[in-house]
Amino acid sequence: MPIPEAKTHLVEIDTDKPVWDRFYTVAPLVLIGTTDADGSLDLAPKHMVTPLGWQNYFGFVCTPAHSTCSNVERTGVFTVSYPKPEQVLFSSLAASPRQTTGDKPILDYFDTISATVIDGEFIDQAYLYFECRHFKTVDGFGPNCLITGEIVAAYADAQFLRSREIDDQELVHDSPLFVYLAPGRFAEISRSNAFPFPAHMKK
């Protein structure tokens, strides 16, 4: 379909192949924690993550080729750690490939804390944590799947929690957020503005 003349600033993107490398999009970056069959910790960075509705459901995109997927299916649980901007190096190193033996020795250098409701671990010093029980996995997104879970416990660094005593802009300025600019870049958000919602808008 030709682009309308009034929209000549637009460039058509070929959808015969994935479009996601042609532009930048903003996403959170989290570390998904699971337990391998031998009992060792696996931490995997993911940016295709999202709340699922207004209740306590969370989802992330994975692939059955990764141990994260099989670990969740086997154990029925996973953890979510939201790293701070200064933890970008740890987030990157968590993506290191496994050795031929299946080991991921880089994880031995991570300081972790234990979950309390489920059997799992988080990266230490993150700003937000979820403990999740597996809800369902939806297959069929090409080679990928959507893994969903119910949040059964949540914790946050007190400096990142909203309150009536602190202006939202001041909160974001004093406690910047780490975001992933897919593909392959990251940023620190320390400024924000209130969104101009229409009057009486509801969820």
pLDDT the model gives residue 46: 95
pLDDT the model gives residue 140: 94
Give the separation between CA 194 and CA 38, rounded to whole angstroms: 47
Give the separation between CA 34 and CA 42, rounded to whole angstroms: 5
CATH architecture of 25-158+166-188: Roll (2.30)
pLDDT the model gives residue 52: 97
Residue 71 bridge partners (DSSP): none
What radius of gyration do the chain's Cα atoms show? 19
pLDDT the model gives residue 99: 57
Strand 128-141: give its sheet, edge to edge.
Answer: 41-46, 30-35, 77-82, 128-141, 144-156, 57-62, 49-51
Alpha helices of 8-126 — where are they, by DSSP H?
67-75, 88-93
Residues of the chain predicted below pLDDT 70: 1-7, 95-108
pLDDT digits (tens, 9 = 90+) for 84-142: 999 888 777 776 666 555 566 666 677 899 999 999 999 999 999 999 999 999 999 99
pLDDT the model gives residue 55: 97
pLDDT the model gives residue 167: 93
- Give the start-to-end residue ranges of the domains of the chain: 25-158+166-188
Give the separation between CA 15 and CA 30, rounded to whole angstroms: 28
pLDDT the model gives residue 201: 78
